[in-house]
Every structure is written in structure tokens, then in C-alpha cells.
A and B are shown apart, each in its own frame.
Chain A
Amino acid sequence: MSLLSLTLGACGHASTVPSPATKSATTAPSAAPPPAAPAKPVPLKKVSTRLNIAPIEGAPVASDARSAVAAISKRVAECWQGPESPDAPPVSLQLSLNQDGSVRIITVLDKKSFSGNAGYRAAATAATSALFECSPFALPAAGYASWKTLPLRITPHH
């Protein structure tokens, strides 16, 4: 008689845990009134990572889409910088935009790497954050159909 074995999905790996912070000051309780508009975002360490954004190689890209990607890349390079991350891998994301150039949804295309690799996850998280933070993007309304959905290759560099 054979035994039936049913498989379970894989969980993500544990990421490296940073060393604990020393004693920190109190925080405001969340029952308090809304916080005052926060100061500019504070990077975690000395900043030195920028992102280069390009269409995914091999995917056919209309010229309107190509120039949209270039505009997005330029904008993100100006607006976002991340903490030093020398081993951060390139990531593939699909960016879906609203007509006003704001982000509708960002999809991680390489789900296997995302769930299996802590470095990939961290890089994808940073790239997602950069796209949200630097949007809305100034893109020509007439070409919306071609830049509505953009598969992107995002490569960190220093």
C-alpha cells in the first residue's frame, strides 16, 4: 500500500538580523493625535546606492514605452538614494501606472527569487519604495496606452 505524501509550499528564508539597538527614547503612543508632518525621510546609513531602470532585455518595447522608462529612470536617479548595499542584485518588477503618472500597482516578476532569497527581497523592497516615493511621474498623457504597464529591470549601483 503506498503512502500519499502531500507537499507544503516553501517559506522564505530568514534574513540577516541587524544587531540590537541600544536603549532608545520613547515613542508617541498611537492613541495620540496624528503626528505632525514628519521631517524628510532619514536614510539608515550613509547613502550611496542609486537605481538604474531599464526595460527588461528581450521584451519588445514600443518607443513611447522606452522613453517613458528613461524618464522614470532619470526621475528616480534624482529623487531616491538608498543605503550602501554592495551585494544588492538587480530585480525585475512590473510597474502599472495610472493616467496621472501615479503608481497603481507594482508586481515582483521573479516570485521564486523573492520568496527564496533575502537579498533579492531587500532589493525588490527598496526598488518598490523608490518607485512609490518618486511618483507621480511626468509622462505624456497621449502615450498612456504604451506606458500603462512597464516591465522593468532595476539595477542598483554606487
Chain B
Amino acid sequence: MQIFKIRKYSVTLAGFLALILLADTAQAELRIDITQGTVQPMPIAVVDFFGQQPTDAQSGANIAGVVAADLERSGLFKPIDRRAFIQTPDSLRTLPRFGDWRVINAQALVSGVVETQSDGRLRIEFRLWDVFAEQQMVGEAVTSTPENWRAIAHKVADEIYKRLTGEDGYFESRIVYVAEAGPQTKRIKRLAIMDQDGENHRFLTDGGNLVLTPRFSPSTQDITYLSYRNNRPRVYLLNIETGQQEVLGDFPGMTFAPRFSPDGTRVILSLATNGNTDIYEMDLRTRKVHRLTNTPGISTGGSYSPDGSQIAFESDRGGSQQIYVMNANGDGAQRISHGEGKYGTPVWSPRGDFIAFTHITGGVFYIGVMHPDGSGERSIAQGYLVEGPTWAPNGRVLAYFKEDANGGRTRLYTIDLTGYNEREVVTPLDASDPAWSPLTQ
């Protein structure tokens, strides 16, 4: 039997306390390669986190449930039915009996402990084990208020995802979108926000006015959105956490809300003047607006690259609606889309390696991706009407909305960048115009 010594305590940037244990076998790292298309989901056992008190035990079961659900939804993991588990949460506190886990074909194992502290806060500890190598891969602990348990569960899922795929996770994030109800002539639209798994849902506006295209700041808790209060399209800036709200400006003819620069200090928007629509940039501190494009036709829907040096946008300057990339100062615009039909709503991945877009050809809508130079174009989703892609914070998953044919529902979906694992995000009403937040800080 191997003896594990606690090596050191260190505080990572994410604020976790890391418990790093020694292992003395050198083995191939347990890892999923997620770049190759179809992936055999890794069988993983997520055990209810142990709690001595009944409330802690319940929290432990809840946390494990959310962790397992996040991992399963990514399409990369297959949580094993807990009824098959042989070892109990209590006995896992000392050491896994790895044979018990190998026999049910688990490749990875997640265990943990929940304990309410004397000040009422929860201390949550979790460990990720490589079952075949019989060694611990991750051991971390964090304390938090009890109400925050979902955020903790998503953080744990992100840590596991990252350790086993080598990619950053995306589970501790939110999606803001437009909730819709009612007949087309009296459509009620309200902004809503939820955790990426559909939980913690709440409305942000009261439905009295048309609201469109919420956008998340990549670095703050702000969103912009368009609203038609008093029948005038106006852009609002709303802070999700504090509720602070202000008007960015009245912009006649605008149909999309502005998008933020990566540092959250500027937005790009499109304004119509003299029958032309062009892209402008506004500094959020000075509120000064300056023009970036000046060509005939409609240029709109700008999206910054994650390093802020370039902007992708849609334009019909060449005669049909296509995607262009230009420098952030407005010069050097190059067309990057070249297929049949129309291209629009470009969104630059937070990783910088892809631009997602909506493509309409042959009467069918597609969500597609291509590299920023236009190469490697492929479709990853299609439907009667699919549009409005938005990237998860790790640039590996996309959300979009889809309308069923024949007056059916409008709903949100997520899909992996490889085109696999399309999943509905269940919302209380119909849903459109999603925008995915950065990882919650």
C-alpha cells in the first residue's frame, strides 16, 4: 500500500487551497483528447460528498449531483450510476479501494467532504482520483456561504474538466437571453439570466418594452441591451450584480446592441446615417464615438478578437452579406467568408482560434465556424431557423437559438465545437438571443 504524505499547502490564483499529495508511480496521464470529433465519454464516478451532519450530507449529494450533471452535459464524461458504487462516501475519506472502482469500470473518481463551520460557512473539499494509476490527481478545499453551493459545484466541475481534458472549463458561467411569450402580434420579451445549466433563473426586465440582443462584457458584470421604451431604440448598460443601469445613447435604426471590447472599456455598435450603416466604437468612459467603417451598404454586428486587435463584422459592401475582418482601428478590412448564400452574426471565440457565424443558404440556416483567415469553414448545427451563436468562456462550446418550423417554439441549444452533443437548455418560456458570460469571478 502506498503512503501519501501531505507535501505542502499553497494558495492558487483561483483562491483555492491546494492539497497536493505525492505519488510514486509514473504513468501515462489520464486524459481525454477533445479535438478529434467523436469522443468515447470517460466513465467517471462522482460520489456524494461526505457530510457528518444530515444537512452537510444533503449538500454533499447536491454538489455531487451538479458536478456529475455538468460533466455529463459536456458530452465528454459518462457518470456511472451511483447505485453501482461499492465503496461508501464515508470510507472514501481515508483512501479509495481502487479495486472497487475498477470493477465498475470507472476511470476517474471524484470524492469530497462537506462540513459546516462554526461561523455557518461551508467548507468543501474534493479529490479527483486516477483509478488505474491509483493516485490522486487533484485535491482542493474552499469555504463559502451555504447559498453559494451551486457556484462551488460548478468550480469543482471546472477543475475536473480542466485536469482531465487539458482545456479550461466553462461550467461556472451564466447565459443572458431574451425570454419570449405570447402571440406574434403581442409578443412579450424580457431579459433573463440563468446559470449555464438553466438553474438560478431570473428576469432582468419587466416585459413592458421590446428588448433585444443582450451582450455580456468579457471582463465585468455588465451587459448591454437594446430596448424600445417610448418606441425609441436605446442602448442600456446594466450591471447584473448591482442593478445599476444607464442609457448609453439613443440610436435610431439600431437593431443590435453593442458588443464590448475584451477589456470592457469600449463597445462597438453600428449606426445608420444617410442611408448607410457603419461600425463605430464608443469609449465607455468618455462616451465619445468614433467611426471605424465608411463604405456603402450595411456594416454591422461587430465582434472583437480576444486580444482586441481585430474586429469581425458582417457587411454587404461587396453585393451580398458576408463576413469581414479588419484591424480594430478600422483599416485593412478583408472578406473571409466565401460560400454560397449569406453570412452574418460573426462572433470571435474567446480563444481567438475561430469565428462562429450564422449562414443561410438554400433556404436552410446553419451555425458554422471558420478560422479568422476564413479557412476551415464547417457547419456545426442546422435547422429551419438557427442563429445567434455565442461562445462559452473556454471557446469549445457554443449556444444559439433555434425556432421550430410551422410556428413552433424558439429555444436555446448548446453544441460542441466539433458539431457533436447538441443539447437543449431548458427555459421557462421561449428563448432567443443568448449571450454567454465569461467565467464568474
Contact = CB atoms under 8 A, between A and B. Distances in A.
Contact of A8 (B17, B151, B212, B243): B151
A85 B81 CA distance: 44
Interface in B152-197: 152, 180-184, 186-188
Contact of B245 (A5, A7, A30, A106): A106
A85 to B, nearest CB: 10
Interface stretch (B36-44, B199-207, B368-376, B417-425): B199-207
Tell me whether chain B's interface is mostly helix, strand or loop, or mixed. mixed
B273 interface: no
A43 to B, nearest CB: 7
A122 B191 CA distance: 12
Interface string B197-239: 0011111111111101100000000000000111101001000
B208 A17 contact: no
B188 A102 contact: no
B204 A14 contact: no
Given A27-B432, A103-B247, A105-B246, A7 B206 contact: no
Contacts of A19: 428
B255 interface: yes
A30 B212 contact: yes
A3 B140 CA distance: 11
Nearest to B212: A30
A96 B247 CA distance: 11
Nearest to B11: A4
B143 A14 contact: no
B87 to A, nearest CB: 26
B377 interface: no
Interface string A32-61: 011101110111100000000000000000
Contacts of B388: 30
A69 to B, nearest CB: 19
B204 A26 contact: no
A138 to B, nearest CB: 15
A129 B191 CA distance: 12
Contacts of A44: 188, 206-207
Interface of A: 1, 3-15, 17-21, 23-31, 33-35, 37-39, 41-44, 82-83, 102-108, 111, 114-115, 118, 121-122, 124-126, 128-129, 132-133
Given A11-B200, A21-B182, A38-B209, 18 more contacts: A3-B141, A6-B143, A20-B429, A23-B408, A24-B181, A24-B430, A26-B408, A26-B410, A28-B184, A30-B432, A31-B345, A31-B358, A37-B228, A41-B229, A82-B206, A103-B247, A122-B206, A133-B208
12 contacts: A4-B9, A15-B203, A27-B184, A27-B410, A37-B231, A39-B186, A42-B188, A104-B246, A105-B246, A107-B242, A111-B241, A114-B242
